[in-house]
Amino acid sequence: MTNDQKKETKVLVTYFSASGVTRGVAEKIAKAANADIAEIVPEKRYTDADLNWQDKNSRSSVEMKDKSSRPAIKKNISNIGDYETIYIGFPIWWYTAPTIINTFIESYDLSGKNIVLFATSGGSGIDRAARDLKASYPNLNFIKSALLNSPSDDEVKNFIK
């Protein structure tokens, strides 16, 4: 790769995935976009019991009820400044983005970057998550969002255009 080509590679795909579905989509996007990829890793992994939405006292229920919760993440991205475009992927939790996505956004300087959101879900859309994040971070440049449940190669290609 020449230096010029290297300079063009300024896309990072980040994702949080509690049970692996969003990870699979993130890997597809990163491959198609020739992008780097970085997982948003919780300090404390979510167990099956943590993810039980039928239990009002489960970790995910408690976190999602408290919009100010900020589950700790491992700060594993040292070169965020290198990227012009950042994809952020997550599962829809309670119709919106998990609060760990807020932790991620608040942990790095994303100002001036193009931010693209994608999500997987059991059927809910991504619109509310996108609206909530835009409202919380009005100074960030959210350019696009899409729900990508089991996307085909063509869907992924269209998404990254």
Ligand X SMILES: Cc1cc2nc3c(=O)[nH]c(=O)nc-3n(C[C@H](O)[C@H](O)[C@H](O)COP(=O)(O)O)c2cc1C
* Cβ 15 to ligand X shortest distance, Å: 8
Cβ closer to ligand X: 3 or 54?
54
**Which are the contacts of 85, defined by CB distance < 8 A and separation ≥ 6?**
10, 11, 12, 113, 114, 115, 116
* Cβ 112 to ligand X shortest distance, Å: 28
- Write the CA distances from 54 to 21, 22, 41, 59, 94, integer angstroms: 20, 21, 24, 11, 11
94 part of the interface to ligand X, by CB under 6 A: yes
* Cβ 16 to ligand X shortest distance, Å: 7
62 part of the interface to ligand X, by CB under 6 A: no
| Residues 105-134: x where in contact with ligand X by CB under 6 A, - otherwise, as a string | ---------------xxxxx----------
Distance (Å, rounded) from C-alpha 41 to C-alpha 75?
Answer: 8
The two structure tokens encoding residue 112:
């001036």
Count of alpha carbons within 13 Å of 26, Cβ hemisphere only? 25
51 part of the interface to ligand X, by CB under 6 A: yes
* Cβ 53 to ligand X shortest distance, Å: 4
Part in contact with ligand X (CB under 6 A); list of ranges 89-97, 110-118, 130-138, 153-161: 89-97
DSSP β-ladder status, 36-39 and 141-147: unpaired
Cβ closer to ligand X: 8 or 19?
19
19 part of the interface to ligand X, by CB under 6 A: yes
- Write the CA distances from 67 to 5, 12, 116, 133, integer angstroms: 41, 26, 22, 12
Residue numbers at the binding site for ligand X (CB under 6 A): 17-23, 51, 53, 60, 91-95, 120-124
